[in-house]
Amino acid sequence: MQIGVDFGGTKIEVAALDGDGRVMFRKRLPTPRGDYAATLRTIVVLVQEVENHLGCRGSVGVGIPGALSTISGLMKNANSTWVLGRPMDRDLSAALGRPVRLMNDANCLALSEAADGAAAGLDVVFGIILGTGVGGGIVVGGRPLVGANAIAGEWGHNPLPWPGAEELPGPSCYCGKQGCIETFLSGPGLARDYREFGGREGSAEDVVQRAKAGDTAAEAALARYEDRLARALAHVINVLDPDAIVLGGGLSNVDRFYETVPALLPRHVFSDQVATRVLKARHGDSSGVFGAARLWRPEELPAALARAS
């Protein structure tokens, strides 16, 4: 049995998959924001509930909003700031009595969608999360690409490509820089852009709904968003040239993006054609938890179930 945990800013979800990838159990609990010890306890409680319910022990993989430093082994780059600088993998392994694998949540999304989701059967998959933040993950040949610095796929903290004068120097980002892709393409970034160009207060979802209702400021904000998304994805295609880009997160549910953005890509991609497919995550907001479960392959399960020394 493979157990996956998706640790998000508002909820922590657990799911258990059998050897054929079928879901046997799922549950969510609110994230205890700002409390590291309570976050660990919530994850442990969910894993224990899975195993008590199903009567067997499983491997555990956890999708995280950040990464483990390859130098210190401590959490870094997490917008859930209460886990920063913590040995989260070691603490969870000790609490659960077995090895635990942690992986960036966008990598988990990409892994799930490459396994049996929208990009099933494709070799190189770039998965992105368009939500409160903007994350990215890469899967090659069915395996996540982590990188020497554990930041492979972190496109959200590169500058927006080919910016116009009105986009410079760009909004400030929590990473300390200005003009990051995340500041333009996150949900809050879309809502801010709408307000700054004649719109009202509201969320990214409000902007989408207002555009559908004929709000011209909302429609213009979405058009700017689509152009920026196309530029940002073209940068990825020029470097990685993936078979598919899979969109996840709340903004991935805007259906028009799957027509408008591919139509804009040829303006920016260094090629005579753009064969890369832009796809909606088949598993929706469950891609992260399913990918986390797949961090341990079936042939690795005996090692995963061994008690931590």
The predicted-structure confidence for 45-94, as pLDDT tens digits, reads as follows: 999 999 999 999 999 999 998 999 999 999 998 878 899 999 999 999 99
**Domain at 95, CATH number:** 3.30.420.40
The predicted-structure confidence for 229-243, as pLDDT tens digits, reads as follows: 999 999 999 999 999
Specify whether 128 is located in the same domain as 259: yes
Q: Place 303 in a pLDDT band, splitting at 50, 70 and 90.
A: confident
**Residue 184 CB partners (closer than 8 Å, separation 6+):** 160, 167, 170, 171, 193, 225, 228, 232
The answer to whether position 234 is within a domain reads yes
CB-CB contact of 240 with 273 (8 Å): no
The answer to whether position 114 is within a domain reads no
The answer to whether position 153 is within a domain reads yes
d(CA 82, CA 268): 39
- Read off the pTM: 0.89
Sole residue written with tokens 């020029």: 238
Specify whether 169 is located in the same domain as 38: no
d(CA 237, CA 285): 24
Share of the chain above pLDDT 70, in %: 99
Per the model's pLDDT, the better-predicted residue between 304 and 191 turns out to be 191
The predicted-structure confidence for 33-55, as pLDDT tens digits, reads as follows: 999 999 999 999 999 999 999 99
Supply 287's token pair: 């891609």
Specify whether 123 is located in the same domain as 94: no
Residue-level pLDDT at 308? 47
The answer to whether position 113 is within a domain reads no
The answer to whether position 140 is within a domain reads yes
Q: How many domains does the chain have?
A: 2
The 3-state DSSP composition of the chain as helix, strand, coil percent (nearest 5) reads 40, 20, 35
d(CA 36, CA 17): 27
Report the mean per-residue pLDDT for the chain.
Answer: 94
Rounded to an integer, the average pLDDT of 195-215 is 97
Sole residue written with tokens 């899975």: 50
**Domain range for residue 57?**
2-108+286-305
Supply 206's token pair: 């409000």
Specify whether 143 is located in the same domain as 57: no
Specify whether 215 is located in the same domain as 130: yes
Specify whether 94 is located in the same domain as 162: no
Residue-level pLDDT at 20? 86
